[in-house]
Chain A
Amino acid sequence: MSKKPSDFSRRDLLKAAAALGTVPFAAACERSSPISSAQASSGDTQGSFNAQVVVVGAGIAGLTAARRLVAAGVDTLVVEACDRVGGRTLNHNVSAAQALPGTVVEVGGQWVGPGQDRVLALIEELGLSTFKTFEDGNYIDYRNGLKTQYGHVFPIDPLNLGLNRLPLTDPVAAAEAALAIETLTSMANQVPLDMPWTAANAAAWDNQTFQSWMDANLVTPGAKSLLQLAIETLFCAEPREVSLLHALLCFHSGGSLEHMISTTGGAQDSRIAGGSQLISLRMAQALGSRVLLRAPVTRIEYNDKGVRVSGDQFSVHAQRTIIALPPTLSGRITYAPPVNGLRDQLTQRFPMGSVIKVQCVYPKPFWRDAGLNGQATSDTGPVKSTFDNSPPDAHVGVIVGFITGSEARTAIMQTREQRMAGVIESFVRYFGEQARTPLEYIERDWASEEYSRGGYLGYLPPGVWLDYGIAMTAPVGRIHWAGSETSDINRGYFDGAVRSGERVAEEVAALL
């Protein structure tokens, strides 16, 4: 699935370092968001229910598990805290007058790509279709106050001399970054996906942050800045926050670092027609009244006979329960008896990244006329990476950008107006004055969502895999764990969510 390391191109890195939006976003609530009408309800879920299995969380993982179980004839109920399904995916109807009715952009996770077989199969099963992310034209790189346009300078490069690999301003840094990615890839391949703590160098790698590895192994500021951008955009956290072992595991799990940061042929290859939330909406539609919305779970009681999952105004009795939430959110539930200390402390050590996804809608994708593909990478915030996110027919133009890590934490403290000004400043810097007057500004601050607490995914600081790894998926009594963070393959992506849902459904079905 991944290209040979030597095929790595700086262009891939630059343009796609940005990409990372692929990773599904944390569950979030938007009161005003559309939900399937069958499930719309005026108040919180009330009453008591019975089922064989109760699934907590109606994101892709939870719904996949429920869908599988129902197909196997198991009486299953899904409870969801928000008033909508989709978890870390959420469609937004573009409101700009020039946009055709029904024009949708995603404010959560959005991309799929080759190698993500399980989610691609699900998309097909649900009758959904995908289309290619727009990538025709040149890339923008903004660095040290200088804007460079690159890519497609030489139309062909049959000897793979790297003619199109770099903005010509800083070839040394590009070469160093390329080498570093090669090294990281070979390190990542030594990390077992199911038990990363058993890697030969696990102790040394989990002792340190990614930043420390960069400090020890990179010389040029340019290469550091490129890798920093890759980490910020992939994990929504700074390199100083993330364990090196965890980063390596994620690279291995996602195919390769290069695959994860690539658009065409990589993890940002395609988008879902109608918006990625449709995956969850379609599954929920089929499950019908088996999905209870506005049902935040506060307490789970369990013994050797069954479980009782309850919130303020509802309770569900079942034989087993599946918690399909990011680990930090699962740690907010009260368990009686308490879950074992290892599991509990794992949830205390699994923070969500910090991200604000921003988009501007324009009358047309004007950058395309200038020969640009809408992808920019930058060393200057608040937005350090962008993509063309226009609808397939491009009747309006949309640029999507990501504010991540430290930049997000600064932006969180600002007002919407202040953030918008900063975002537009970034877009103008990359695409010119035409970017100054969008028809609509759309933003989503995932860290401020109570049922999300950040995005796109939970990351691990140093030391946690070594000491707590075994608690990641080990069931506790009749409680089973799912969610994209528990998947060996494509951890953190939609595909990981689907795989975790399938894995847990099998695990539970075997025990009923």
Chain B
Amino acid sequence: MTVSEKADVCIIGAGLGGLGAARRLSEQGKSVIVLEARDRVGGRTKRGSLCGQPVDLGGQWIGPTQTRAVQLCKDLGLEIYSQYAEGKRLLELDGQLHSYQGLIPRISWLALLDTARAMKRINKAAQGIDTSAPWKSVDVLKLDQISAAQWLDRTALTRNGRRLMEILIRAVYTCEPHEVSMLSVLHYISSAGSIEVQASVEDNGAQQWLVRGGAFQMAERLADRLPQACVKLNAAVDSLEQSGSGVRIRHARGEVKASRVIIAVAPQLVAAIHCSPALPAMRMQLQARMPMGSVIKAHVAYERPFWREQGWSGEVASDAGPFGPVFDATPPGSPHGVLVGFFDGGHSRMAAGAPEEMRRQMVVGSLQRYFGEQASSPIGYVDKDWISDPWSRGGYLATTPPGALTACGPALRSPCGRIHWAGSESATRWAGYMDGALESGERAAMEVIEAGT
């Protein structure tokens, strides 16, 4: 049975980008239909449950300068609280565990100076990047022809300084430094402000605030407030047919005819949609050059937040992993303690697709190394392997290998006839974050409104 429906605008993807676009368009009196392949909204944010408490299996933190996400939480009546950051942090480097207070780990001064210098340089280079058109920046070819690893080869002078930078890149971009173009890294840094802001839980950092009850509620509440029944779940899109007057979208549960389409999924996921006429060559080649990062996120519950009692903040960074970075994610008022962390970049690839029990053992093994024997007996565990999720194909975000942004970058946002592009990767501010997804949705909605019919 094929159901055929009509709307002014059809939006593909019910993540924050798509739902944000739907909200703006409905406010402007446009009729919208949102098609979502999964059986839930939220995209790369996802509700999970651990010991009876909701947890974020996907995007979780927001930072004070992520004004769109902060505003949306206000609009939706969601409460924000601060990431727990009291006590000593742990850093595992080259097989040694260092604990430190504040922002500066107690490793050799040389390595610290080296890292500080590298971060200063990286920020300076990022300042030269035009966030809305990184491919137009000065010296762009020099930056796009090298991987971040090569940039580190030239910049980092000490082994530990380099390791620290590698941890940072792995944690923020979910890829190995050798996979990603330096220009791509700088683009994300410049869209966020600085690398410190991206890495930090304090000082306006991107991990400073959490949403009480879970960030996944943003998408859930956005969807609830849209006109009745305009979000279709389990409606994976098979094909798009564009004509002079509109677009016909065929999906798993029927078809939609709309005058315009907003595709609000990661570039890589567009490849599986058959478009006729075929998308322009530059757009197709861009999609083939924006792989998703690799990440698995896990929450581990303990009877009590024992690390707090020992003066640790729960925050860990490690060059060995496989589980790390780690943060304290104990919900306010909970008697139990919760740690959240990631397998990221190369560390995640061996764990992807493995049975959950095996991953659990790997997680607990890492936590024991960081926090000692008390970490050996968790009372609950839940994780999400984003790499094996066919509707995400990885996470948190897509990066580009060397040469890709300069070759195909302009196709990132250029509409293709009646098709407009959203999704966090297409944002100019906080690209790759929930905030960037919201920006992209608003921008795409504006494009559609300005286009008229």
Q: Which residues of A contact B (CB under 8 A)?
A: 203, 206-209, 211-212, 237-242, 296, 298, 312, 328, 331-335, 338, 340-342, 344-345, 348-352, 354, 406, 409, 412-413, 445, 447-450, 453-454, 461-464, 466-468
Contacts and interface: CB of A to CB of B under 8 A. Distances in A.
B178 A212 contact: no
Interface string B279-306: 1111011001111101000000000000
Contacts of B288: 328, 350-352, 453-454
A203 B403 CA distance: 20
Contacts, number: 168
B268 interface: yes
Contacts of A212: 145-146, 150
B12 interface: no
A354 B180 CA distance: 20
A138 B352 CA distance: 57
Contact of A448 (B281, B352, B389): B281
Contact of A208 (B147, B176, B290): B147
B147 A331 contact: no
Contacts of A453: 284-285, 288
Given A206-B178, A467-B346, A461 B404 contact: yes
B134 to A, nearest CB: 15
Nearest to A328: B288
Which of A240, A312, A333 counts the most chain B CB atoms within 10 A? Answer: A240
A206 B294 CA distance: 18
A340 B394 contact: no
A338 B38 CA distance: 14
Nearest to B294: A345
Contacts of A464: 179, 401
B178 A207 contact: yes
A155 B203 CA distance: 75
Contacts of B275: 450
B332 interface: no
Given A298-B274, A348-B393, A348-B394, A447 B145 contact: no
B289 A341 contact: no
Interface string B381-423: 0000101111001100000011110111000000000000000
A464 B176 CA distance: 10
Contact of B146 (A208, A242, A298): A208
B353 A241 contact: no
Interface of B: 141, 144-147, 149-150, 153, 175-180, 236, 238, 268, 271-272, 274-275, 278-282, 284-285, 288-292, 294, 346, 349, 352-353, 385, 387-390, 393-394, 401-404, 406-408
A345 B179 contact: no
Contacts of A334: 236, 272, 390
Given A354-B407, A413-B282, A342 B145 contact: no
A338 B402 contact: no
A211 B401 CA distance: 13
A333 B274 CA distance: 10
A70 to B, nearest CB: 30
Contacts of B387: 341-342, 344-345
B291 A349 contact: yes
A79 to B, nearest CB: 15
A342 B352 CA distance: 8
A461 B388 contact: no
A467 B394 contact: no
B291 A296 contact: no
B145 A239 contact: yes
Contacts of B404: 241, 351, 461
What 9 A-B pairs have minimum CB-CB distances, sorted nearest first? A461-B401, A241-B403, A240-B145, A341-B387, A463-B179, A348-B291, A341-B352, A447-B281, A450-B278
Given A209-B403, A241-B407, A332-B271, A463 B291 contact: no
Given A332-B272, A342-B352, A467-B179, 5 more contacts: A208-B150, A341-B388, A341-B394, A453-B285, A463-B176
A338 B179 contact: no
Nearest to B351: A341
Contacts of A350: 288
A381 to B, nearest CB: 15
B278 A351 contact: no
Contacts of B178: 203, 206-208, 462-463, 466
Nearest to B239: A312
12 contacts: A207-B177, A212-B145, A332-B271, A334-B236, A340-B353, A340-B388, A341-B394, A344-B387, A450-B274, A462-B402, A463-B147, A464-B401
B393 to A, nearest CB: 6
A352 B25 CA distance: 37
B149 A448 contact: no
Nearest to A408: B281
B285 A344 contact: no
Nearest to B403: A241
A350 B284 CA distance: 13
Given A335-B390, A449-B278, A352 B285 contact: yes
Contact of A349 (B177, B280, B401): B401
Of B180, B275, B279, B407, which is in contact with the most chain A CB atoms at under 10 Å from its CB? B407
B145 A209 contact: yes
Contacts of B268: 348
B147 A207 contact: yes
B105 to A, nearest CB: 25
B355 to A, nearest CB: 13
A335 B177 CA distance: 30
Contacts of A412: 280-282
Most chain B CB neighbours (cut-off 10 Å) among A239, A338, A340, A348: A348
Contact of A312 (B147, B238, B349): B238
Contacts of B179: 349, 461-464, 467
A345 B282 contact: no
A333 B272 CA distance: 6
Contacts of B291: 345, 348-349
A448 B278 contact: yes
A462 B147 contact: yes
B281 to A, nearest CB: 4
Nearest to A405: B407
Pick the most buried of B144, B180, B236, B285: most chain A CB atoms within 10 A of its CB.
B285
Contacts of B272: 298, 331-334
Nearest to A338: B390
Contact of B294 (A341, A406, A450, A466): A341
Contacts of A450: 274-275, 278-279, 284
A409 B346 CA distance: 32
Nearest to B273: A332
Contacts of B349: 341-342, 345, 467-468
Nearest to A446: B281
Nearest to A326: B288
B403 A238 contact: yes
Contact of B144 (A240, A298, A333, A342): A240
A463 B388 CA distance: 20
Contacts of A239: 145
A298 B403 contact: no
B401 A462 contact: yes
A22 to B, nearest CB: 22
B238 A298 contact: yes
Contact of A467 (B176, B271, B280): B176
Of B284, B292, B346, B349, which is in contact with the most chain A CB atoms at under 10 Å from its CB? B284
User: Which residue of B147, B279, B352 has the most chain A CB atoms within 10 A of its CB atom?
Assistant: B147
Contacts of B279: 450
B280 A448 contact: yes
Given A334-B272, A449-B278, A344 B393 contact: yes
Contact of A241 (B294, B394, B401): B401
A207 B153 contact: yes
Contacts of A349: 179, 291, 401
A241 B278 CA distance: 25
